[in-house]
Amino acid sequence: MAELPDKAEHFIDWYLEAVEVAGLTDKRYPVKGMNVWTPYGFQARRQLDGLLIRGIEASGSRPVEFPTLIPQTEFQKEKEHVKGFDAQVYWVTKGGETDLDIPLVLRPTSETAMYPIFALWIRSHKDLPFNVYQIVNTFRYETKTTRPFFRIREIHFFEEHTCQLTDEAAAARCQENLATFQGIAEALALPYVASRRPDWDKFPGAYYSIALDLPVGGARTLQVGTIHHYRENFSRPYEIRYEDLAGELRYVHQTTFGLSERLLGATVAFHGDRKGVVFPSSIAPYQVVIVPIVSQNSGPISTDAARTLADRLRAAGVRVYVDDSEERPGAKYYLWESRGVPLRLEIGPREAAEGTVTAVNRLGQKQRIGPGKLEDGIRQALVEYDQALAAQARESFQKAFSVAHRLEELQDSTTVRIVSWCGNEACGHQIEQAIDGAVLGTPEGPLPIDPGSPAECIACGKREATRWVLAGRPL
């Protein structure tokens, strides 16, 4: 029952232990980087998927599902794209005893699976905008060290693919995706920055890429999602065309929006503390755990009250668990704290008799609720918990960025850095070398802190055309 490692000092060790003690995943599956979703972890994922589904469907996207396997011939149609993924794909070469005529790729992402079919579905300007998404697993033959949720070989993946009439409409869809993500991030109490990635770091085949990054301690950042504008880069090789009002055939302009189980990892990484995971109530597998306190002579009164309350909370739509195991109350508190449950309710014989509960939230705030209608008080306590979590997150987000004016300052960065840059690629690489990380890019919208007007380029010293960019150490 020791505390976890210090998060700031030993982030990766802390993270691995936090995931482990919460029992979100089992890494002992005999293929490295392919992990098992435990019942507890799966419940968090299901809630997270629900957020994504509600968010994207509210923005006019419809669900589809394309096959997992992609023929080599289709996979190779867009040259940049295949170059970006070639070293990272799994190949299916045999069915039963038979060598396949055309090897199949386990999708690393679904552009090349979807676009031949989009070419059949889209005929006319009336078919546009065309917005579809799928939540599926994707596969990457990852050669670096794998980490649960962050870098794995089978990835729980969300991908929206859209076709638009024009370049401008595609850019507008990217902005709509940003708004959708904002809603998802708010539900998770996660602050983030959206940056337009430098050209050398965009998605293979993209015209531009907007990435969604979280600061996760020190200069470390975690990319939790991307929004890409493809222009006609895929619609030309895959011949996705529509007839416009004048009867002319035109190529569609495409966008994609990708998220993954990294969002779950990010939630763990951003909110967690030395006791373990801290879930916002939106995706907590259990929002409330009730611990009946049974004394020697009290009989079943506490346990009965706990079960009755649990039934009423379930009827009110709250996810609740009654821990009536034989463990000591202290051990239960420890367990459910490490697993990130937002609200613990303790019911002893006196509370049961009074019709009250003692509520302790995952941030340590304690209150007595009741007597009276307990459901309302408990829901209110969850709302207050989420607000406190969001306030705490905003505060640590503010501290996660600082301006650097000279390259030498970058080496010892203890925050993500904001630097002035001329846009020249060689200067960009100098910045990356100095921070031993990456230029994340130019933020879409305001910077997390206001550094005033951009100064001279931190690398070459030129004052022309400089802009603020973020630089950090992506995990």
Number of residues that bind its own copies (CB under 8 A): 52
Strand blocks (E) in 333-382? 343-347, 357-361, 366-369
Yes or no: say if 267 and 260 are a contact pair by the CB < 8 Å rule: no
Yes or no: say if 204 and 450 are a contact pair by the CB < 8 Å rule: no
> What is the Cα–Cα distance from 143 to 461, expressed in whole angstroms?
38
Element (H, E) at 49: helix 39-58
Binding track, positions 346-375, relative to its own copies; x by CB under 8 A: ------------------------------
Residue 82 engages its own copies in binding (rule: CB under 8 A): no
Residue 317 engages its own copies in binding (rule: CB under 8 A): no
Residue 68 engages its own copies in binding (rule: CB under 8 A): yes
Which position among 24, 132, 212, 374 is part of the footprint of its own copies (CB under 8 A)? 132
Which position among 11, 80, 90, 324 is part of the footprint of its own copies (CB under 8 A)? 90
Residue 91 engages its own copies in binding (rule: CB under 8 A): yes
Start-to-end CA span in the chain (Å) = 28
Yes or no: say if 19 and 25 are a contact pair by the CB < 8 Å rule: yes
CA separation, residue 72 to residues 88, 90, 106, 199 (Å): 14, 11, 10, 27
Which position among 87, 245, 246, 426 is part of the footprint of its own copies (CB under 8 A)? 87
Contact set for its own copies, span 23-42 (CB under 8 A): 26, 28-31, 34-39, 42
Contact set for its own copies, span 236-255 (CB under 8 A): none
Q: Nearer to its own copies by C-beta: 117 or 407?
A: 117
Which position among 12, 16, 82, 117 is part of the footprint of its own copies (CB under 8 A)? 117
- Give min distance, CB of 22 to its own copies, in A: 16
Residue 139 engages its own copies in binding (rule: CB under 8 A): yes
Q: Nearer to its own copies by C-beta: 116 or 218?
A: 116
Yes or no: say if 126 and 252 are a contact pair by the CB < 8 Å rule: no
Which position among 10, 79, 83, 94 is part of the footprint of its own copies (CB under 8 A)? 94
Q: Nearer to its own copies by C-beta: 97 or 408?
A: 97
Task: Identify the three-state secondary structure at position 295.
Answer: coil
**Cβ count within 10 A of residue 276:** 24
Q: Nearer to its own copies by C-beta: 75 or 192?
A: 75
The alpha carbon of residue 124 and the mean position of all alpha carbons in its chain are separated, in whole angstroms, by 35
Residue 96 engages its own copies in binding (rule: CB under 8 A): yes
Which position among 111, 154, 159, 346 is part of the footprint of its own copies (CB under 8 A)? 154
> What is the Cα–Cα distance from 356 to 359, expressed in whole angstroms?
10
Q: What string of DSSP letters covers 156-222?
A: EEEEEEEEESSHHHHHHHHHHHHHHHHHHHHHTT---EEEE--GGGS-TT-SEEEEEEEE-STTEEE
List interacting residues with its own copies (CB under 8 A): 26, 28-31, 34-39, 42-43, 45-46, 62-69, 71, 73-74, 86-98, 104, 106, 113, 116-117, 120-121, 132, 137, 139, 141, 143, 154
